[in-house]
Amino acid sequence: MRRLLLAVTLLAVLGACRREPAPLPTAAMPAVTAARYPAPERLVALGDLHGNLEATRAALRLAGAIDEAEKWIGGKLVVVQTGDELDRGDGEREILDLFDRLAEESKATGGAVHALLGNHETMTVGGDFRYSTEAGLRAFAGVATKAPGAAQVAERERARAEAFLPGGEYALRLARRDVIAIVGDTVFSHAGIAPQHVAHGIDRANAEIGDWIAGRAPEAPDVVMTQPSPLWNRLYGQPQLPEETCRNLRVALQSVGAKRMVVGHTIQDEGITSACDGQVWRIDVGMFENFGKKPLQVLEIRGDEVKVLRGPTP
């Protein structure tokens, strides 16, 4: 009898400690503020760039953001790049430097440039250099602020580690980027948000990932690293989306007061696509793999009008 009472007591304690899942957010929840930016007259979104400097320049010119000398000519244009500037190609440092410079230049004319974090940025900060080219391993040598943990990395990878491990010079720059941003009535993230991300708090998620990248927190937050992650999930990238996915998307959009979401991460072989009655747009067109093989594409948003801009056919 005593063993039975102990077992019952233990089960009761475990039941009391069990964490109930957070309720799904509803449209009544307040929208986030710090990650929301004003609605521009014209907005252009670019997908994954993966170290392809030539494709990056071409996409920015197609957007009307830069001239042939790479100077900002966009005026009040807002550009959003949905992450994955790193890995696969050799032009990563030039791309990061270009977007940081354009973010400053655009302010002078009332424009803005928002480059988001992608999964390859967080992989690099975490020391996963599998997709780095040999040139990419060497390109970041000589940074002024070296990541504290880089001394433990093999010599071949040390220059990249000094720049990107938490607290390194380029990590500190990445730490200022959002995982999720809202511009006007459009939500942007690399892979897409789900209701649980809104429940967690978009501002909170952005701050937590920034703290890890800057070296102020010991590890990356679960909300952006576990599925369905706004950096990693494939919920919105597939050709046909189930109604449940569209329904959860509507809940998330209503909760933050947005009309649509724009994502990268999953290559769209036939070019930019939409799903869920235009509530999600997929803009990863495999720019690194397909540049020079297929027409370049970026997404333009003017109020309620969403349009694909196409570059010249190769």
Tell me which of 50, 114, 120, 200 is the catalytic residue: 120
Measure the CA–CA gap between 133 and 141, rounded to whole angstroms: 14
Which contacts qualify for 301-308: CB closer than 8 Å, 24 or more apart? Answer: 301/42, 301/43, 301/44, 301/45, 301/184, 301/186, 302/41, 302/42, 302/43, 304/259, 306/260, 306/274, 306/278, 306/281, 308/271, 308/272
DSSP at 144: S
| Residue 163 and residue 171 in contact, taking contact as beta carbons nearer than 8 Å | yes
Strand order in the sheet with 112-115: 112-115, 78-81, 43-46, 297-302, 305-310
Q: Is 120 a catalytic residue?
A: yes
Beta-carbon count within 10 A of 293 CB: 8
Catalytic residue IDs: 120
